[in-house]
Chains A and B, each alone.
Chain A
Amino acid sequence: MRLQATTSQTVGPFFKIGLRWLDRDSLAAEGVAGERVTIQGRVLEGDGSPVPDAVLEIWQANSHGKYAHPEDTQDKPLDLGFTGFGRVPTDKDGAFRFATVKPGPVPGPTGKDQAPHLVISIFMRGLLKRLTTRMYFPNDPRNASDPILEIVDPAWRSTLIASAAGGAGQLEWNVILQGSHETVFFDLGL
């Protein structure tokens, strides 16, 4: 029998009560292989107002390009101590920050590799369902042939790519909800 998926509803302003126990701003324990990166940014409304009540969830492959999930049958190593999941709320300035390792490439829809990326869900008061987007890494030559970036209008593509922010491994990536710098969000059904 076919069922219909339950309707999505907003997380509202008080999600911290239920979700903070699983906050994870450090995705890769010491000893996990890969290039260490720290990503910081802000979630902003179209007029630049900070969004102090958002929560981001991150999902990524390990540095070998392997997801810790049974659907990933690639012959690549898993890393003990790396699940690939992160959850970070924004603070009063709309800012978030998390540390991880740069993922390796994973196959795209036709089997050709995608450029390294994080997939991200964003929940907040005001949104009856989540936003989904991706963050790619700056100066990675594989971005030029990424099968998902290729679908995105070139004028908006840069909203999906982090920028270098000073020190080694320091990246900045902002989520802008509306306006001329609006982040590209994807339609995944929900």
Chain B
Amino acid sequence: MKPLAGYRAPYPGTQPNHLHPPYGPSLKRAPTQPLVQIPYTLSEITGPSFGSELVSTSAHDLTRQHHGEPLGERIVVSGRVLDENSRPLPNTLIEIWQANAAGRYQHEVDQHDAPLDPNFTGCGRVITDAEGRYRFVTIRPGEYPWRNHYNAWRPAHIHFSLFGPAFATRLVTQMFFPGDPLLPFDPIFNCIADEKARNRLISVFDWETTMPLHALGYRFDIVLRGREETPMEE
């Protein structure tokens, strides 16, 4: 059997450690023992796939899940999903969730006293097309306070969950907005040393996907891990 091509190790400084003391809850939840390095096997280079029949064609539009329109500023969030080898990743599931325009999640644990919006649940999903593209219509989420440290506020963000082609490529991340004054103070956004990598979590305003008289466009491209070169057979 020829050796399996694994997945590239992350570029230094671009992925967080489990323990990140400025983010309080990591203290009691990050492993204290070193992670065990293991070789890639068939178990890690395979992974679940999800057919388009699982995702309704309206699941990408978070502004049309109820009878009325949600409050807030409509936005279009779109982009491409690629791997580290610059190959587009078609047919991959993206799940998103977010707060409403007032900064409140439709979740029983969220005790922030901002109003809920009966016309906004805040979840969407889509499967990338043949070129790895995706597109959501939603409303711009509000910033909100949390209890990590004194007067802590999360910058506006949308949670993204992606699978990619393998167990090894699974990624959960957050998308931020350009010019958000809270970004320098957020221990989650600032969890890595590499400033350029951090800034890639910030979407960019995109005039081309902006819908005239309707919604501003933001572009957010996502890169999942790429395979090492497949060992050549002699």
Residues in B27-76 with C-beta less than 8 Å from chain A: 28-33, 35-50, 54
Known: A109-B41, A114-B43, A177-B28. A14 touches B110 (CB 8 A): yes
Q: Is the CB of B30 within 8 A of A190?
A: no
From A4, A16, A46, A126, give the contact of B107 (CB < 8 A): A16
Q: Is the CB of B28 within 8 A of A45?
A: yes
CB of B155, distance to nearest CB on chain A (Å): 12
A151 on the B face (CB < 8 A): yes
CB of B152, distance to nearest CB on chain A (Å): 13
The residue in A110, A129, A179 that gathers the most chain B C-beta atoms within 10 A of its C-beta is: A129
A3-B168 Cα distance, complex, nearest whole Å: 17
Q: Which chain A positions have C-beta within 8 A of B83?
A: 3
Q: Is the CB of B35 within 8 A of A17?
A: no
Q: Is the CB of A128 within 8 A of B41?
A: no
The residue in A12, A21, A45, A178 that gathers the most chain B C-beta atoms within 10 A of its C-beta is: A12
For chain B, give the interface size range. 35 or more
Q: Is the CB of B31 within 8 A of A17?
A: no
A107 on the B face (CB < 8 A): yes
Residue of B nearest to A151 (CB): B38
Q: Is the CB of A8 within 8 A of B171?
A: yes
Known: A12-B159, A128-B191. A188 touches B33 (CB 8 A): no
Consensus secondary structure, chain B interface: loop
Q: Is the CB of B14 within 8 A of A7?
A: yes
From B36, B40, B49, give the contact of A109 (CB < 8 A): B40
Q: Which chain A positions have C-beta within 8 A of B30?
A: 126-127, 177-178
The residue in A15, A107, A121, A125 that gathers the most chain B C-beta atoms within 10 A of its C-beta is: A15
Q: Is the CB of A17 within 8 A of B105?
A: yes
Q: Is the CB of A126 within 8 A of B26?
A: yes
Subset of 21 A-B contacts with CB under 8 Å? A2-B84, A4-B84, A4-B197, A5-B8, A6-B173, A7-B14, A9-B191, A10-B188, A14-B110, A14-B159, A22-B95, A47-B28, A69-B166, A71-B45, A110-B1, A117-B43, A128-B23, A131-B31, A132-B167, A178-B31, A190-B168
